[in-house]
A and B are shown apart, each in its own frame.
Chain A
């Protein structure tokens, strides 16, 4: 089955700087890649997703890039703010959204 790896496991950034989290996947048939943000004690919430027919997608301060050849995708957060502090999970699916394989999560800490 699909295997998703996420790096680094922990990332600390100064407020206002950019943060980048990278994920790799193993199944070349995967075609859907969502990112979830989980604040402490709360549910995971979708923040952005990308399908394999596009290479980049942006929503305000958040962007995701996809490199199908290298089988990796990345989350970019610009102008980080304290409220961006959370655990971020990447995932991949080759069956639309019917079954997701998640990475182990990345703790992002934004230092004021």
Chain B
């Protein structure tokens, strides 16, 4: 069974801090994705990656960056956290055209 693990379930940070959200998958998947989920807005794609050191912008990349130094790990970075980045963040992975599998999510609060 695919396992997508996000490092924290809950995280509280302060405005202006640099925040790292980590995601690891154990199935050697090529593709990894970061979404944010807000009530009434569904899942919106922030960034995705097809391979190591490769990244592409999603629909809402502003204020975020990503890093994929190893195939199994995909990190989301908030360079200078702001209160409007308070949200649920979901990581997903997939292989080729197979379905995406999601992690449990990180609920991030920026104070």
Contacts and interface: CB of A to CB of B under 8 A. Distances in A.
Given A89-B43, A102-B43, A97 B102 contact: no
A29 B100 CA distance: 20
Interface in A72-112: 89, 96-105
Contacts of B90: 43-44
Given A43-B102, A44-B90, A45-B102, A97 B42 contact: no
Interface stretch (B11-19, B20-28, B67-75, B91-99): B91-99
Contacts of B48: 98-99
Given A99-B48, A102-B43, A103-B42, A49 B59 contact: no
B64 interface: no
Contacts of A32: 97
11 contacts: A9-B40, A42-B104, A43-B103, A43-B105, A44-B102, A46-B99, A46-B100, A96-B96, A97-B99, A99-B45, A102-B35
A92 to B, nearest CB: 12
Contacts of A97: 31, 94, 96-100
Interface of B: 31, 35, 40-45, 48, 50, 58-59, 90, 94, 96-105
A21 to B, nearest CB: 13
Interface of A: 1, 6, 9, 32, 34, 36, 42-46, 49, 89, 96-105
